[in-house]
Structure 1
Amino acid sequence: MRNKHIKSIIGIAFAGLLLSGCSDILNETPRGNYTPDYFKTSEGVMGGITSLYGHLRNIWGNGYWLDACETGTDEYTWAQSADGNFKDMDLDGSGNLTSSSSRSDVLWYNTFSDINTASGIIENGSAAGVDSSLVAEAYFFRGFDYFMLTQTFGGVPLDLGSGELKFNTTAVRVSKRNTVPEVYTKCVFPDLLKAINDLPEKARVTGGATKTAARLFLSKAYLTYAWWLENPNKIDTYPVCDRKDPTGHDPAYYYQQAYNLAIAGIQNPGNYALQKTFYDLNVGSNDHNSEMVLYADHIESSEYYDDNSHSYGSASSPSNFAAWMVTCNYTNVRSNTAANWGGTAVSSVQREAAQLYGRPWTRMAPTVNGIVNNFPDKTYDSRYDGTFVTCYRGNWNRAGRTEVTLYNANGLPIVQNDSVLSFLPYPNSNINYSNTTYASNIGGGVLPGRADFVVDVNGISRLLYPGLWKIGTYRTDNNGGMGQPNGSITRPYPIAKFSELYLLAAEAAVKGATIQSGYSARDLVNVLRARAGVWTFSNSSNKAKVADYSKVLTDATPQTITIDYILAERSREYFGEGQRWWDLVRTQEWGDYAKTYQICGSATGDHTLKSYSRNIKTYMYLRPIPQGQIDALQMSDADKAAYQNPGY
């Protein structure tokens, strides 16, 4: 949403309280507290709705929220420059996850004020004479926010001070958490159903909520709740309650509802459609494409309207800085001005505001097993190539250096845009990581006849690893130079894609939903696998690649789809975007999938693969309520203790 300027002004008003009022200003009109009368005006409704879209930027694109959603899964672990924010989330013994260190606080502290704003619009908006479809956007966001919260923390409060799901105008210091079934059946389900009924098929504005968006999240909520009711691995819930549905339905009912809604979304797409290729979906020049159902938007053309510095990022909301965390310091690689490496060492890969490069913070590294297991086919399936930066290329001329040729591995010449450092997709025992003549400075190895330094998949380390290309920096204002790579990323951050409807329906089908003809789990998965086989461009070779391996991939799809296969497909589609922890918690597979991982060490040149174990206890399937919230409540010590999830 770009049409109004949004700035947070109260984050302190409820740093630990149940938030009241709305926390935004619109058009520079300060309002620390929105009243019911204000929401009875069309200006108030529009202002509140705009703030609801704006609040997405406080969560999605925040690098610490990405940490909470990815570190400690099979996809990511901590990297060489990580501090406690990342080591605590990993659960491998390098840190200690507590209610004070959990970075799920990003969600908690940035959600309740917007839930309250949505309630204000829902209660009072009809008096403004606005169309019901506009109020439906508030229903969508309230259901969406509560769904995110209950997936993460278990049961959460529906009463923010004035009664359940009521608009509250007075800060409160007491709170009572509802149970998981209450949150789903009193809010998430009815709010998203109301949104489906009243939202338009086609968005009011680019990126706006639609029936398809509401169907997607309600399908996912039904699916998550069905797993919760079934509870196959006997995971504890909190607040303690029976895993029974208040309306008397069983898990099978909700699996079926999840399937039906996802299929309805596929069959009634509105303006949404799958992109032709995985590359097209993720390339920065094609942002805001038809597959993007919901995203946290940003705008390059105005720092004012983006509420961010585009020259230097603050690493705090509402900036989009998630990609920094998963980018290694590739700028340490060196080439030389002489073939015998007796000349001057040159930083041949400079920091650039481009999707292959960006700001390198080296906080999160992909695990070796996450890449090996989840991307077994890196030849025909384009999703590995369309996910990672597997080749860093020379760009020294754009930094003002005048050398036409530099010399790299094996003393071989390279020119601008040639490969300087490459990550090979498969193990290679022929790599010499101990070569001292051609010193990469970053620990890259050499292979005979290759001018680029190389790292094979088993040599990925906490220091040196592929970046996450698909969410990387993209700017159009570099003007032939390096641009401004340190500024907030000006791309939209993806929250939900149309492709997910296929995988939600497939997962529900695997869990026993009665299927429609042509929409079996295998049929649904193969739609995405067929797309994955289509290539128009190769990132690794940096050139057009026209190929169609759809039949190869669809023929290789198992006849019987399992939950493990669905999880692998979800990783191939959404690796590193912030879906993984929820996926593994929903299916209760986190303890199995992430209990061990492999990666090499933090030192330059360390390419010895090591295995690490995580101590994932069942209580950790819920994140802790932030300690700041607990401390701010004016309740007895016993009540505060009871408010916190067990184990923390």
Structure 2
Amino acid sequence: MKSYKKIAILFTALGTLSVSSCKKVLDQQPKSNITPDLLASTGGVIGGITGVYSDLRNLWGTEGFLYYTNLGVDETLAGGGASASGVDFATYKNYTNNISDVYNALGGVFSIAYQDINTLNGVLQYGPAAFSDVPTRTAYLAQAKFLRAFYYFHLVETFGAVPLHTTFINSATLTDSRAPIADVYAQIIKDLTEASTELQNKPGDNSSPFTGHAATKASALFLLSKAYLTRGWSSAAQPTDFQNALTTAQTLIANKATYGVDLYANYADAYNPTNDATNKEDLFAIEHSTDTKYGDFTAGASGGKINGWAYFFRPNYPTVNANYPATGGASVMTRDIPNGRPFFRVRPNVDYVNNVAFADKTNDFRYWNTFQTTWIANTANVTTPRGTLTVAADTAIWMPPYDPGAAKRAAFKGIIMLPPSIAATATGTNAAPTTNTFFPAVKKFDDPNRPSVNDPSSRPVVLLRFSEIYLIAAEAAFKMNDNNTAATMINVLRTRAAYRTTNMPANAVTNMQVTPAQINIDFILDERVRELYGESLRWWDLTRTQSLVRRVKQYNAEAGPNIQDFMTLRPIPQTEINLVTQGTPIAQNPGF
């Protein structure tokens, strides 16, 4: 996206100021430079849209957002470095009684979303007067429609009924109400339907002012398909939702060349940092950079508008000592940029990951493209009870998803950690279990170009991936009892999943094909884990498909005993409820 940076900073700062001011003095005269006159100018429209893009950095990629999208599900557990609110999200244990931290995390989502929705409403209401050139005006307003729909989609799938605002508010109010879910979805689908015809085919097409990772027609078609799919599962379902979801997904797939999107032959290439600038599977992403002024970059930052995906899923590998699990001895590894900052906020639910989602690690190479299981020695003069580790040659830490056997463990100079269920029955030495501190790392989001080991990532945070459209189509087809189409869609991804650059089994592609008889919702959900592990989607996948409680009880021993049926919605932030002091109060979601 072109860098209208100073205007974007102005809008972001003004929006933040207005939110904090309203919380304190709602009955006083608000003062803001975001006025209808400004939004009717070229600079106002540009600044408003660019400011919203900047604001997305406050959510996706940050720690608080990570907790409420990635924890309390089947594929992950809280890491040993998770905060109190992270543990609440992960286990539901103190979720309803000690929820202040949880409210704070969700309150940020609410306040940022509605701040930006109001800006977008202003752009759409007053922005047409800013441009005499119809194509330029259309391009800008289409961006605003997409972004408004994007926010409302994530609000409604998280909280259920939410306030629906489509006009610009420039004075404080003490009243508000939650709109019916049907009305929110109707607005989302209207905005996305229009955006899918008005946005550029590719970033920068037709002299569009937006380049980089800004929304395109492919972005809008993707989100429109998913909105239909999600509404189809909901209480607001329409009879044609699943058909519309499938048809829209197939339209995107059929026109992938027009939109410049496609699958890479190698799954790993979709996550390769060298492809970030022109990644053909990236349909929409939040940009980051190491620019301290306009990129919101702070060296060594662990909070703020950061992309922390490069280290949230990393174990505390520098604290593994040479005698582990006994105490004493030097650390076998030193933290470095290739192995990442050990933040250990989220860890794999290893038994589910190893034995269910990624049970086939021979034909399906996605496990090995997703997880790091070996750490090569980078520290000199380290000796374990089994020998001295040679830097850059020996493996210092190995976390295989299987037991290599007592003889191999005894001969291995480094430290071996096994999945807990395997370690419990392993005989012999060097068979410690993985823990909430030591676990296989997610490597898909690694950023080898960070200036320093503790720096956040400057890679884009990809929110919409082309590969997911096949899973959306498969789920919609399944709901229409069309398992033939569902299997066809999934097999596109499973064919690609078999690929590797060397030592590819001769029958891997054939063995990866799924038949229509194998398709059910659990197979689709497991396939989503294999394809999209850790990508801030899982809680929504499970709530959309009405599978959260069942699968958490089935696979998540830490959260299963505590989860209840009403937890398929997140609580409305109490801070937002407290702001409505006149008229009918905003009702909290049941159970909270």
Q: Given the two structures, how large is their TM-score scaled by the length of structure 1? A: 0.79
Call closer, same or farther: CA 1:345–1:560 in 2, change over 3 Å.
Answer: closer
Structure-2 residue corresponding to 1:283: 272
Identify the match of residue 349 of structure 2 among 354, 364, 367.
Answer: 367
1:586 offset after TM fit, Å?
A: 0.2
Structure-2 residue corresponding to 1:625: 572
Structure-2 residue corresponding to 1:49: 49
Structure-2 residue corresponding to 1:176: 177
Judge conservation of contact 1:274–1:499 (CA < 8 Å) in 2: yes
Judge conservation of contact 1:323–1:473 (CA < 8 Å) in 2: yes
Structure-2 residue corresponding to 1:644: 588
Distance 1:506 1:81 in 2: 37
Q: Tell me the percent identity.
A: 32
Call closer, same or farther: CA 1:154–1:406 in 2, change over 3 Å.
Answer: same
1:558 offset after TM fit, Å?
A: 5.8
Identify the match of residue 376 of structure 2 among 386, 393, 400.
Answer: 393
Deviations 1:61-88 (A, max 9, x none): 0121111011110012222233311121
Distance 1:596 1:485 in 2: 38
Identify the match of residue 299 of structure 1 among 289, 293, 299.
Answer: 289
Counterpart of 2:411 in 1: which secondary structure? coil
Structure-2 residue corresponding to 1:569: 527
Letter aligned with residue 138 of structure 2: S
Call closer, same or farther: CA 1:91–1:476 in 2, change over 3 Å.
Answer: closer
Letter aligned with residue 265 of structure 2: K
Identify the match of residue 268 of structure 1 among 241, 247, 255.
Answer: 255
Letter aligned with residue 569 of structure 2: L
Deviations 1:428-450 (A, max 9, x none): 6739xxxxxxxxxxxxxx81222
Identify the match of residue 313 of structure 1 among 295, 301, 307.
Answer: 301
Give runs of aligned pairs for residues 433-512 of structure 1, distance below 5 A: 447-458=409-420, 459-475=433-449, 477=451, 484-512=452-480
Call closer, same or farther: CA 1:611–1:37 in 2, change over 3 Å.
Answer: closer
Judge conservation of contact 1:374–1:571 (CA < 8 Å) in 2: yes
Q: Is the aligned partner of 1:331 residue 2:314?
A: no
Letter aligned with residue 582 of structure 2: M
Distance 1:535 1:321 in 2: 28
Identify the match of residue 500 of structure 2 among 507, 532, 535.
Answer: 535
1:491 offset after TM fit, Å?
A: 1.0
1:18 offset after TM fit, Å?
A: 9.1
Counterpart of 1:200 in 2: which secondary structure? coil
Judge conservation of contact 2:163–2:178 (CA < 8 Å) in 1: yes
Distance 1:15 1:644 in 2: 22
1:568 offset after TM fit, Å?
A: 0.7
Judge conservation of contact 1:155–1:180 (CA < 8 Å) in 2: yes
Structure-2 residue corresponding to 1:606: none
Runs of at least 5 residues in structure 2 that lack an aligned partner in the other structure? 25-30, 205-210, 421-432
Q: Is the aligned partner of 1:634 residue 2:581?
A: yes
1:171 offset after TM fit, Å?
A: 2.4
1:113 offset after TM fit, Å?
A: 1.1
Distance 2:113 2:488 in 1: 37
1:125 offset after TM fit, Å?
A: 1.7
Give runs of aligned pairs for residues 139-218 of structure 1, distance below 5 A: 139-159=145-165, 165-185=166-186, 187-204=187-204, 205-218=211-224
Letter aligned with residue 297 of structure 1: E
Letter aligned with residue 126 of structure 2: N
Call closer, same or farther: CA 1:171–1:612 in 2, change over 3 Å.
Answer: closer
Distance 1:153 1:71 in 2: 16
Structure-1 residue corresponding to 2:390: 414
Call closer, same or farther: CA 1:631–1:611 in 2, change over 3 Å.
Answer: closer
Q: Figure out how many residues of one structure are paired with residues of the other and give that number.
A: 551
Deviations 1:299-353 (A, max 9, x none): 13x22221121x210412x1112443322211112349xxxx9xx9443422222
1:286 offset after TM fit, Å?
A: 2.4
Counterpart of 2:179 in 1: which secondary structure? coil
Counterpart of 1:173 in 2: which secondary structure? coil
Counterpart of 2:100 in 1: which secondary structure? coil
Structure-1 residue corresponding to 2:399: 423
Letter aligned with residue 194 of structure 1: E
Distance 2:550 2:108 in 1: 26
Q: Is the aligned partner of 1:70 residue 2:76?
A: no
Judge conservation of contact 2:306–2:456 (CA < 8 Å) in 1: yes
Deviations 1:41-97 (A, max 9, x none): 222222122122222211110121111011110012222233311121123536656
Counterpart of 1:420 in 2: which secondary structure? strand
**Quick check: 324-333 or 189-198, which moved more?**
324-333
Identify the match of residue 485 of structure 2 among 510, 513, 520.
Answer: 520
Structure-2 residue corresponding to 1:347: 331
Distance 2:318 2:454 in 1: 14
Structure-1 residue corresponding to 2:16: 11
Distance 1:192 1:206 in 2: 20
Distance 1:333 1:521 in 2: 45
Runs of at least 5 residues in structure 1 that lack an aligned partner in the other structure? 20-30, 160-164, 230-242, 397-402, 432-445, 478-483, 537-543, 599-609
Letter aligned with residue 68 of structure 2: A
Letter aligned with residue 255 of structure 2: N
Q: Is the aligned partner of 1:61 residue 2:34?
A: no
Counterpart of 1:77 in 2: which secondary structure? strand
Deviations 1:553-605 (A, max 9, x none): 4335564411111111111111111100000000000011112546xxxxxxx
Distance 1:408 1:630 in 2: 57
Call closer, same or farther: CA 1:591–1:285 in 2, change over 3 Å.
Answer: same
Counterpart of 1:304 in 2: which secondary structure? coil
Call closer, same or farther: CA 1:17–1:625 in 2, change over 3 Å.
Answer: farther
Distance 1:569 1:15 in 2: 42
Q: Is the aligned partner of 1:80 residue 2:80?
A: yes
Deviations 1:419-476 (A, max 9, x none): 2111112246739xxxxxxxxxxxxxx8122223111223332121111111233316
Counterpart of 1:140 in 2: which secondary structure? helix
Distance 2:482 2:108 in 1: 38
Counterpart of 1:119 in 2: which secondary structure? helix
Call closer, same or farther: CA 1:228–1:278 in 2, change over 3 Å.
Answer: same
Call closer, same or farther: CA 1:418–1:15 in 2, change over 3 Å.
Answer: farther
Distance 1:16 1:644 in 2: 24
Distance 1:47 1:549 in 2: 54
Call closer, same or farther: CA 1:374–1:105 in 2, change over 3 Å.
Answer: farther
Letter aligned with residue 534 of structure 1: Y
Query: What is the aligned-residue RMSD (CA, Å)?
Result: 2.7
Call closer, same or farther: CA 1:382–1:352 in 2, change over 3 Å.
Answer: same
Structure-2 residue corresponding to 1:481: none
Structure-2 residue corresponding to 1:109: 111
Q: Given the two structures, how large is their TM-score scaled by the length of structure 2? A: 0.87
1:143 offset after TM fit, Å?
A: 0.7
Judge conservation of contact 1:2–1:305 (CA < 8 Å) in 2: no
Distance 1:16 1:594 in 2: 40
Q: In proportion to residue count, which structure has more helix?
A: 2
1:127 offset after TM fit, Å?
A: 1.1
Letter aligned with residue 414 of structure 1: T
**Quick check: 320-329 or 621-630, which moved more?**
320-329
